[in-house]
Every structure is written in structure tokens, then in C-alpha cells.
């Protein structure tokens, strides 16, 4: 991921370093902004927030953001995606695969940030983006979430073909607005 980011970022004042959320190796007070994109639920809160507080300058901003996995498109497609999510959770449980998002509830991020004592001000913002999408994008979205276990076995058990059929029936060849929701928790040092 770092190699990809470095290849896409032409800005000379942007640097990517290898580290952990609780042990970045960066100097004290070196950052104006620290972000965690769809990942805070994997990090131990206390040491992570202590490290963020250490590397942020005064008035620096920490932003942890997560997206709602499925976009707002059409009720039939959303219902099919919700049912797909239920089947996906059941398969994960059957295979004994622990999901990161259930390890630390995303709903608890803001409270953990406040409780850390590292930030003078914390709040949650709810944002959205509108992007164009079609039935192929629905199929691609399901694939981007990742298969659990053997891909061929997973595809059958998760009934991806049913979701695809609904998306193709509802959308046909049309491109329509997809509304993606984001939850951004911010903390000011």
C-alpha cells in the first residue's frame, strides 16, 4: 500500500514511512494531521492515541474515518446487499474468522478518543459523496470486500449471482447516483 501511495503522490512535502499506529518512529510534534482510514478498529486505542498525541503539533488534527460499506442506490439492491452481508457474517463465523470491525466497535471510536485525554476537542462528522455507478460497480464492490476462504466455494455460499441478477434487473444498462456515507471522528490536539 505504501508503494502504491508513493507512486500516486507527486507532492514533495508528503512522506510515507513504515511503522505501527502505536510506534511510528516519528519525532515529537512533527505532524499537523494524522489519519486512520477504515482501520482504527484494528488498533489498540490507548497506545495508538498516545502516539498520535505525541507526534501531533499543538492544534494538530487526528481524523479517523470509516465508510458505510454499501451505497444508497435502490431499495431492492440495498436489501440484496444486506442479505449478502448476513450470509457473509454467517460464513465467517462458521469458518472461525474473526472480523476486525467487531473487535472494537466503530460506534465506540469517538468515546475512546475522548477518554484517551490526548485531544482538547473531539467530534464526529457524517459526510457523504455521490458517485456514478452501474450493475458492474455493485458486482465489483462485492468483490472488493474480499472472499472468505476458497473463492469458488464462497461465491456459491454467498450467492453472489443472486445479488448480481438483482442489480442487473433493477439497473439494466443505466448509470445512476451511488451515495456513500462516511463517519469521520476528529480530535484536536
- The answer to whether residue 135 scores a pLDDT higher than 70 is yes
Q: What is the pLDDT of residue 22?
A: 95
Q: Who wins on pLDDT, 66 or 96? A: 66
Q: What is the pLDDT of residues 21-59, one digit of tens each?
A: 999 999 999 999 999 998 998 899 999 999 999 999 999
The domain over range 2-188 is classified in CATH as 3.40.720? no
Domain ranges of the chain: 2-188
- The answer to whether residue 82 scores a pLDDT higher than 60 is yes
3-state secondary structure of 117: coil
Q: What is the pLDDT of residues 56-66, one digit of tens each?
A: 999 999 999 99
Average pLDDT along the chain: 90
Cα–Cα distance, 50 to 23 (Å, whole number): 10
Cα 170 from chain centroid (whole Å) = 27
Amino acid at each position: 500500500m505504501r508503494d502504491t501511495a508513493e507512486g500516486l503522490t507527486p507532492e514533495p512535502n508528503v512522506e510515507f514511512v513504515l511503522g505501527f499506529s502505536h510506534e511510528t518512529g516519528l519525532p515529537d510534534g512533527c505532524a499537523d494531521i494524522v489519519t486512520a482510514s477504515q482501520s482504527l478498529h484494528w488498533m489498540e486505542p490507548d497506545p495508538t492515541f498516545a502516539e498520535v498525541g505525541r507526534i501531533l503539533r499543538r492544534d494538530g488534527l487526528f481524523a479517523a474515518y470509516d465508510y458505510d460499506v454499501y451505497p444508497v442506490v435502490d431499495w431492492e439492491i440495498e436489501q440484496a446487499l444486506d442479505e449478502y452481508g448476513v450470509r457473509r457474517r454467517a460464513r465467517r463465523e462458521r469458518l472461525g474468522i474473526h472480523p476486525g470491525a467487531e473487535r472494537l466497535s466503530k460506534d465506540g471510536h469517538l468515546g475512546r478518543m475522548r477518554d484517551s485525554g490526548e485531544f482538547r476537542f473531539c467530534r464526529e462528522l457524517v459526510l457523504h459523496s455521490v458517485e456514478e455507478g452501474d450493475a458492474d460497480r455493485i458486482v465489483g464492490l462485492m468483490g472488493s470486500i474480499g472472499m472468505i476462504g476458497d473463492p469458488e466455494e464462497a461465491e456459491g455460499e454467498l450467492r453472489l449471482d443472486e445479488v448480481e441478477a438483482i442489480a442487473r434487473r433493477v439497473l439494466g444498462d443505466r448509470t445512476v447516483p451511488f451515495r456513500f456515507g462516511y463517519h469521520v471522528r476528529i480530535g484536536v490536539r
